[in-house]
Every structure is written in C-alpha cells, then in structure tokens.
A = this chain, B = another copy of it.
C-alpha cells in the first residue's frame, strides 16, 4: 500500500476510482519532492514555469497584501492540497504562498500538467472538481466574514479547520493541530490578533474549547455546527458525472 503514504493520493482515492494507469501518473507527479523551511516561498521564483505544487508535508498559506501593509490569508494549504491551481490563468502569481511550517512540496510545471491532461482527460475533471471545493469553501468564508459576528467567525473557522484535518486521517477526533498564531488567525478572519486573543480566552474559559498548543479540541461540535450554520464542504465530493476512464 505504498500509495497510502501520499496525502494527495489518499484524497483522490477517497473521491474517485482510479485506474492503475492513472494511479501511476499521479504517483509520478509526486516522485521528486523538495523540502521547504517555515516562512520560505513554496514556489521557486527562479523556476518560472514550475507554478503548481502538491503539498507533501507541512502547511502553507497564501496571502494578499494591501498598500497599507495589512495582509489577509486567503488560503490555507495542508498535505495533499494543490498550490497554484487557482492561479493557472495568470502569468504572474497573483498572491504569494509561503510555508507556514517546515515541510516538503512537489513542484510541477504547467506544461507538464497540460500535456498530462491532454493524454488523460479525466485528470482535468478531477482537478476542476478539487478546485471547485476550494472555491466553495472560500465563498463560505467570505460570507461568514461579511455577515457573522467575530465570535461566530472564529467558531466557523475552527470547525472548517477541523474538517480539513479530518481529511488527513482515518480516525478523526475533535482534537486537531492548528499551526497558526493568533495573528495568523486574525489575518484569516479579518480581526486583530488582540481581539482573536480575547475571543479564544472567552471560548476556553467558558469550556467551549481546550487549547494545548498547537492542538485544540472542540467540546461541542454539533452545537457549534448548528449555531453558525456550518456546512462541511470537504466531506462529499461528487464525481459521478465524470466520464469513466477510457478502456
């Protein structure tokens, strides 16, 4: 079961039956990985065409920065996620992606990907489906940020991080690692680090979470889910419409 060592394969297989040929192709994509230190850029600016990466291990975040120096974390990448999928249409990376912890990534250049997709059309459908997951989660986050109170935003965020952590293991529990400082959480939610701190204190002092950095435990997940109207977009990817593999 060599393929189980790869979070990316694990995720793909969770959603769709792969042929042995396809499995070989995806495995080849992950053959060479390079390690990356915390805070270093995921994509190598010197390799202009290597603009896609599969996260092998570690976390990364994508940030948008404004003139005033304020920044927003627009995406959080965990093992098995694909970095740069949403940037395919751009000649220059629109937002920059940095490692959030130490880790390793597999770089893929776009022409290789394009060629692979040409030979194996189902690859595109799968990638597009995965991109669509990202985007829907992003739209959910947009909604929570614009319309929920700071406390509910934080709760929604913790729930979504828990969902994503659950994808990476077969024994999900309500305890999971959150490799982000309170300032980072603020950058993801549009709050100040100070206010995030007050909220976290409040949640833990009222017994809603247990914090033991970097781990966090959600005490009443169902209650929270109902309270903020959380929907787990990651759990069910529908790939039934994709044409079955040729032969």
Contact = CB atoms under 8 A, between A and B. Distances in A.
A51 to B, nearest CB: 8
Nearest to A130: B89
A127 to B, nearest CB: 7
A94 interface: yes
B86 A136 contact: yes
Interface in A87-134: 87-91, 94-95, 110-111, 114-115, 117-118, 121-122, 124-125, 127-134
Interface residues of A, number: 66
Contact of A136 (B87, B125, B129, B145): B87
B147 A190 contact: yes
A70 interface: yes
Nearest to A240: B91
5 contacts: A66-B148, A89-B237, A94-B136, A118-B122, A124-B125
